[in-house]
Structures are given as structure tokens and as C-alpha cells.
Amino acid sequence: MLLPRTLLACCLSLSFSGVAAPAGDLPLMPWPQNVVQPAGGGALALTPQLTLHISGDHLAGAEARWRARISRQTGWPLLPASAASDHATIQVQIAQAVDPLPQPDSDESYHLEVNSSGVLLKAATRFGAMRGMETLLQLIENNENGTVIPFVSIDDKPRFPWRGVLIDSARHFLPVETLKRQIDGIAAARMNVFHWHLTDDQGWRFASSHYPQLQERASDGLYYTRQQMRDVVQYATQRGVRVVPEIDLPGHASAIAVAMPELMSAPGPYAMERGWGVFKPLLDPGNEAVFRFIDTLIGEVAAIFPDPYIHIGGDEVDPTQWNASPAIRQFMRDRGLHDAHALQAWFNQRVEKILAAHQRRMIGWDEVYHPDLPKSTLIQSWQGQDALGEVIKHDFRGILSTGFYLDQPQTAAYHYRNEPWPQGLNGEDRIAPGEQTQSWQFTMPRLKGSALQGSFTLVNGKNGWRGFIDFNGKARRMVQAIRWLSPNQLTFSVDTWMGPFQPVVTLTGEKLTGYMQVGNVRYPGEGHKLPQVPAGIAPSLPTPEQLDNNLLGGEAALWAENVNSRVIDTRLWPRAFVVAERLWSAKDVTDSDNMYQRLSAVDRWSTVSVGLQQHQQAEVQMMRLANSCDITPLRVFADVLEPAQYYTRQHLKFQAGHYDWFEPLNRLADVLPAESEAVRLLDKQVDALIANRGNRAAAAAIRRQLQRWQSNSDVVMPLILSNYQLKPLQQQARQVAQLSRMGLDLVSALEQNQAYGAGEVAQMRAQLDAAAQVQDETVLALVRPMEKLLRASR
């Protein structure tokens, strides 16, 4: 069911073109290109006698599915479908019958009209009809008068043709029924690609008939039969979703090494890889048997997956085995290949010819890009917009995944701001005469891998402060929201490949100290002042024509180190709808507050109508953690927590020595939403109170929430202490009570214009700093609005 709204009562008229399409308050996601509601409002009343008629093409099973979903949304057992009629409540008219198999250029446009005569959905093809039906289903509302659809006229088509979700079945095997449910979600979000990651170091999931040793020796018995894969393809096809399989070559090949060591660049021996990370086994480019193997395997893959693309992976190739092999080094010298990258390009050229012989096109990650490959090669970028910009400038086609990694907990607003193409600086990094600058080098140690390094530059101009940041090896970015918290303490924010990046640093003389917040996690930072502004790297900006021709869209990615079938829905939904909107809707649909309002509605709708299980999976995990006790206190406690963002959880597991397949995903962190909606709403109330200290409504709302969390702390503590998997969170439960009391005092001080002394402020600051630390892979989100209240009270 949809959230209550005042749309019909307000009778708003929303009319705009597909060029500028600010979203309205209908519960639609993705937001359509063109929405018009009559000034007089109105709605079509539905009854259990509603009828549905499809003409122009035969959509096998679609009518039954759509009727079943209407039944779930309304709660009615719909009467049996009547004979085809021109007077059906819902008329679906398809102009042209086409091949049921979706293609990269399938026409997905549609027109939807709801008025007193009924519903008319017109589409050029079956694919537009499917997209339009999802929009219609989102509009069905149970209100105080009955079940209705608001009067509306919608013209719609996607902004980008490639809108996908990558799901990794290699690291953690996912049952077919689990995958089918995600395909239902992909279709409901009006996305059109299921990118199926089938092989990796930790497992081979594709049942090969010619090389059965692959699944017999390298899958732990967990793989998909040929019939199961065909079934998944058929299921997706019926919903207008393409299935693009990924078979990793030449790296991420530990599973191949276990089953067929004779194909590898080093003799082994090899064992099943249980850890997560990048590993050394590589196929041997100098062995012709490798290419016979690939030819046969691609033939098998093509026979099951009819999509024109096959993904070869191609990322994270560790060249150790190639460089250590005298035979391979001689092979490279004989062909004038100067390094491992050139050897991989040579390998990919051979693979591309094999794919072409099977009437398939190559898609691979950034590392496969090479000027000598055919322009038909599609590049999927995990390295970011600048890498993608270079690809597009050289007339290769590309799609973006950076910034859409849903296995990393990130805020919906961060994904929403993530434009698929590189953004220019518009000359804002140029220093004008008379402007003052200061540049600072910084270093941020990470829990795993090398430290993050770079510099930022502050510019004091006639319009105030502005700035830009230069991460080592990355293109320059402008920063936002520069604020001086004190005469020598500074903060700003910038979106990065890691997520939102917000330093809080103190600049004393030549020295920089403080911390860098990546997402919701604080990392220590240090640095020093630079004598001059660094040169930096300019963003790689394609021309508008190159973007139009070569940027196809993007894919959300769900890698499975921290994902299994028991938690997958909590990781993927509803955030994938945000990515879907960025790839479907007009580029200036950017209002985050409006997005969150509609996301809340689509979250509930997708649970009821689509059958997604984000709430059910979280509920079951909490029931288990609560040892069959009432989980209400745990729910209330969970509302104030977030999983540690960026790769912090993975890195903490690595430090603890259990970053591997054996790590159970059985803690509260594994089902927490990526961000706390309760804290996000509280934060907005805090902003309202700070802007107007006489805002009694905001003050009352803050008090109610803080009092709820404060009183819950004592109730949840016995539950936490009763389960060893919750015990590490006991300190956070005490801190929730402590910070709630602090917040109540701060609200009163703000209302009464009372100021705290320096000692009291320092004591509260120390409490907030302690509460901000990661505990059991979670972060206490309440720290953020409390920091705002504390700053405002000084």
C-alpha cells in the first residue's frame, strides 16, 4: 500500500516537458519524463470487477501476473477475467508485436492516461507496455474513500537504454527463486538488465557440459544447471529484462585453476579459494588449449544466454604469474608485447574474435579497454567517471557502476547525485587576481591497503569561500559546503568514488590535524601546508555528441562478500530504485527531499506488490537475535544505527582475519538499512529548529524521538546481553541514552537562548567523539544531529 498523501485533496496541477521534469508528489519512482494532472483533480474508482485487456501483442502470462499484483495491492480476490472487451477498466494497446527477447535498443516508451472513462496504456512495443504497467501499479491507492487511481496523463521513456543490476552468485551462491525475486524488482524499477556474475575465484556456478570438472571440483556442489539458467532467462524475458552473463577471463580464475590447472600460467597446486580479495591464478595466453577451452565455453554460454553481449570480466589481473614465467615472457617478446597490460589486450583480442564467431559482443570492466579492440566492445567502469570519459572520448561505448555499488552501504542521496558522466569545473578552480589561496596536503590511513593521499585548496574570493580537491591520481573536483567551525577548524564535503567525503580538520600554522569522514566513518587525517597550488588533473570531458552516442547508461552492483540469500533484499531494495531513477528520469530530477518521500512509498509498494523481502529478512534476523523475545526494543534501537559505510566492514573483517567465505552474516549490521531514516528525519527537524529557535513543532518532534530512544535503552539492554551476537553493541545502547539526554538538554538551551561554557562544550564534544567510533561494524547515526545542536548552542 502507498503512504497517505494529500495529492487528491490539494488538486495540484503538475505539467512539464521531458527536458525539465522536477518531480511531484505522486508516489512514482523512477519519475516519468512528462506528468500532467488536471487542475480539478479527480480519481478513477476501482472495484473487484475491474477488467484488463491487452491488444496488439501476446504477453505470455502478463495479464495473470498484473491481475495478481492488483489483487495484492487492493486486498481483493479479483473476479475471473472476462472475455476481451473494448470496455475493460484497463486497456493496454501495443502498436507493434516484436520479438519477446529484449534488446539493447528496445523501444520502452509509453503513454498512460487515467480519466473517468478508465485507464488507457499505449506503447509502441511490449517493453513500453511493461514499463507503463509498473507506473500504473505504483499509482493504485487505498484511501479513505476506497481504491482509486488519480487522474493523470503521462508520456514517458528512459533517459538511458542500459539500466541494470549486477548480482554476484559466485562468492555466495543464490538460489534460483532468490534470483527470480530480484528480477521482479529489477522490472518493477523499470530497469532492463540483469547482469549475472557466474564465476569468480570462490566458485564456478555455470554447469558446463564439455567441462563438467568445473562444477564438480570448483563449486562445492552449488551451481546452476543448464535448465535452471534457461529458466532464469525465460523468467526475465517475460518481464522485459535482459540477462547478461559474466564469465571472468583471464583473472579471477582460481576456480578454473582448481578444476583445470593445465590451463594456468603456473603449475599450482591449487585449492578452492575461501578468502575474499584479488588472487594470482591467470589463464596462460601462450597455451592454445586455453583458447580452445574459451571457444567451447563461449559456445555453451551463448546457447543458453541469447543476449548479444557476454561479459568477460577482465578486471584486477595480478600479473605475478605472467611475469614469473620464462615461457610467457618469451611469448611476449616474440610478439612485441612490452608489459602485462599489452599481453592482456592481446588476450582480449583473441577472446573478442571468439565471441564474434558466436555472434556475441564483448563487455568488460575498465581494464579491458584498449585502442586496438573493436569499437563494438562495451566498457563497464568501476574506476569512475574520468576513466569512463576517456573511453567515450575514444568512441567506445560505456556504462557506469562507480557510485552505484549497493553492496557498500551508502546514502540514497549519494547515489542520487551520481551523474554517469564526468563533471567539469566550469573554471571555478582558476585563481583570479586578488583572490587568496591556501593549499593543504593530507594523508588518510585506511584499514586495508595504502593510505589515501591528496590535497585541497581553499580560495577566498569576492563571493566568499570556494575550494577544490586533488586526490592523487584522480581528476580535480570542486568541494561543497565549506564551513569554518572556528577560526582554524574547517569542514567541507565532496562526493568521491568512496562515497561522501567530509574532512573536519584543524589548520595550525603549517600543520593539518583532524579526521576525514568517509560516509559515516571517521578516519584519522594529518598533513601540512603546501607552498603553492598543485597543478592537478583536469576532468576528461567528452563532447555532448560523444556522450549522446557512447554513454549507454549504468548498472548498480551488488558484490557478495557481505551478501547471501538471507540478506540480499535488505542490501538491494529499495535503494536500487534510486539508481533506476538516475538512469531513467530527466537529469534535472534532483530534489533529494522529494526523492526520499517517494522512496519511502516505493519501499512499501515493492514489498506488497512486487514481493520483495527487505523488511521480512530484517525481521527474521532480529527475531533470531532476540532469542524469540519481543523484538520491538531491538527495532527501536536499530533505528539509530547504521552499518559502517565505504569498505569499512570488509576492512575490519580483514584486520580480524575473517574476511572470507566462513564469516557468517548473522549480526545486526547485516540487516541494517544503509542509512537511518529516523535519524535523517530527526536531522531535518534539528535544521528547522536551528533556523528558527521558536519553532515549537520542530522542538516537540525532536523531544519525542529522543525520549523514545532514551527510554528504550534500558529495555533493550537485557535483550542485548542475552545473545553473544548482540553483546558488542551494549556500549552503543548506553551511548544512545547518554546522547538522547544530551540532545534534550541542548534543545532546551536553544529554545531559551542559553549558552554553555567551554568546559561543558568540551565534555559533550568528547562524548560525541567517543560515540562516533565504529562498534561491531555499526555507527551510531545519532551523533550527526547532536553535533549540529552542540555547534548551535555555543
- Known catalytic residues? 316
State the first-to-last Cα distance of the chain, in angstroms, to the nearest integer.
45
Cell of residue 212, nine digits: 563438467
| CA nearest neighbour of 617 among 665, 689, 580 | 665
CA distances from 315 to 117, 231, 310 (A): 55, 29, 15
Say which amino acid occupies 555: E
Cβ neighbours for 544, distance < 8 A, ≥ 6 positions apart: none
Exposure string over 459-496, b if 16+ CB within 10 A, otherwise e: beeeeeebbbbbbeebbbbbbeebeeeeeeebbbebbb
| CA nearest neighbour of 229 among 205, 264, 249 | 205
Cβ neighbours for 50, distance < 8 A, ≥ 6 positions apart: 70, 78, 89, 90
| CA nearest neighbour of 670 among 725, 748, 626 | 725
Determine the Cα–Cα distance for residues 409 and 645; give it in Å rounded to an integer: 5
Determine the Cα–Cα distance for residues 579 and 404; give it in Å rounded to an integer: 7
Say which amino acid occupies 610: V
Say which amino acid occupies 615: H
In Å, how far from its chain's centre is CA 164? 11
8-state DSSP, 352? H
CA distances from 358 to 283, 308, 310, 350, 570 (A): 21, 10, 10, 13, 38
Sheet holding 43-45, edge to edge: 43-45, 146-150, 141-143
Q: Is 759 exposed, middle or buried (0-12, 13-18, 19+ CB in 10 A)?
A: exposed
Determine the Cα–Cα distance for residues 538 and 557; give it in Å rounded to an integer: 27
Counting Cα atoms < 13 Å in the Cβ hemisphere of 186 gives 31
Residue 422, preceding bond cis, omega within 30 degrees? no
Determine the Cα–Cα distance for residues 338 and 621; give it in Å rounded to an integer: 53
